[in-house]
Amino acid sequence: MTGIRNIVVLTGAGISAESGIDTFRSEGGLWEQHRVEDVATPEGFARDPDLVLRFYDMRREAIQTKLPNPAHQALARLDAAWKGELLIVTQNVDDLHERAGARRVLHMHGTHLNAWCTACDTRSPWTGPMIDRPPCPSCGARALRPDVVWFGEMPYEMDRIYGAIRQADLFVSIGTSGAVYPAAGFVRDARELRVRTLELNLERSQGSHWFHESRQGPASRLVPEWVNEVLGG
Ligand code: NAD
Ligand code: APR
């Protein structure tokens, strides 16, 4: 991959599937077990906060027992070796990129590591079951919610993401169905900016036709192969 200096990588639930974390829209995925509008929207939280807090306590506990897989490890190797710009934009709330050693990671949908106080708007480490209504470390109010972006809410750091895409020579999408915006639109933004685009996904996604190249297979194989290519290994 000659002439590549600045890379943006977008990851979705599929990169963590082989670590044992459920995806959302694959068979048996999270959205078959729970109604999105009940557990991943502000309206659902207002309607039944206990249901939402139990859902995210369950997801947090499930994530904590999982380990990075070869796809996360390959991206961490790229991050350590890459002399140009690299930004790993993840839609995932797990911290497997960081636990594999990646540093240049941006969680556009937040993470399961932090709680967000709806009374004083500060973030703090999520240290225990939120269903127990722990007090906010800053203001003491029992008003914490997961620091996760829900449907209808704005993702984090969109300006930084679009800025990185504008400077990119290569945009790589890994393990995402291309079902949710604005992440699903990044490939179109990249194409309009004449950025080279590559998709690595288990099967063709809703956005596959937008990519210059789309490779199908498990991330644990495709991502190490691609990192070897781009590092010239
Ligand atoms: P939405 O109201 O933004 O969009 C609804 C649907 O309209 C989308 O699902 C998509 O099919 C379509 N759409 C949206 N923008 C489009 C566009 N520019 N072009 C064509 N079609 C478009 O609701 P949403 O997409 O379901 O979610 C919106 C926000 O919620 C996004 O910011 C997303 O990042 C966030 N989100 C977070 C999570 C999470 O669990 N962290 C889950 C889902 C969504
Ligand atoms: N290797 C590569 N890709 C995989 C693997 C794997 N082992 N297993 C599954 N996939 C692919 C699936 O084919 C699917 O295209 O990963 C994608 C997962 O899609 P979704 O379950 O829709 O997850 P994602 O794209 O991350 O969802 C986007 O929607 O509900 C919200 O918060 C959620 O941030 C998420 C957003």
202 CB within 6 A, ligand 2 = yes
Residue 43 confidence (pLDDT): 97
Average pLDDT over residues 178-207: 97
Ligand 1 atom at minimum distance from 185 CA? 18
Question: 82 C-alpha to center of ligand 1: Å?
Answer: 32
Question: 112 C-alpha to center of ligand 1: Å?
Answer: 20
Average pLDDT over residues 213-225: 98
Residue 25, marked binder: yes
- What does the alpha-carbon distance between residue 205 and residue 176 come to, in Å, rounded to a whole number? 7
Ligand 1 atom at minimum distance from 148 CA? 41
| Percent of the chain with pLDDT strictly greater than 70 | 99
Ligand 1 atom at minimum distance from 109 CA? 41
Residue 122, marked binder: no
Quickly list H helices, 10-153. 14-17, 30-33, 36-39, 42-47, 49-64, 70-81, 96-100
- Pairing state of beta strands 7-11 and 105-107? unpaired
pLDDT of 31 above 90:
no
Beta strands (DSSP E) in 59-188 are 86-90, 105-107, 110-117, 123-125, 144-148, 170-174
pLDDT of 29 above 90:
no
Tell me the pTM: 0.88
Burial of 42 (0-12, 13-18, 19+ CB in 10 A): middle
Among 228, 224, 215, which residue's Cα sits nearest to residue 68? 224
Spell out the domains of the chain, with CATH numbers in brackets.
1-21+68-109+155-233 (3.40.50.1220), 22-65+113-148 (3.30.1600.10)
17 CB within 6 A, ligand 2 = yes
Indicate if 109 belongs to the active site.
Answer: yes
Structure tokens at 36: 């999105």
Banded pLDDT at 133 (limits 50, 70, 90): very high
Average pLDDT over the chain reads 95
Average pLDDT over residues 137-147: 97
Residue 175, marked binder: yes
Selected catalytic residue, list 107, 109, 112, 212: 109
Contacts of 83 (CB under 8 A, 6+ apart): none
Residue 110 confidence (pLDDT): 97
Residue 167, marked binder: no
Residue 1 confidence (pLDDT): 62
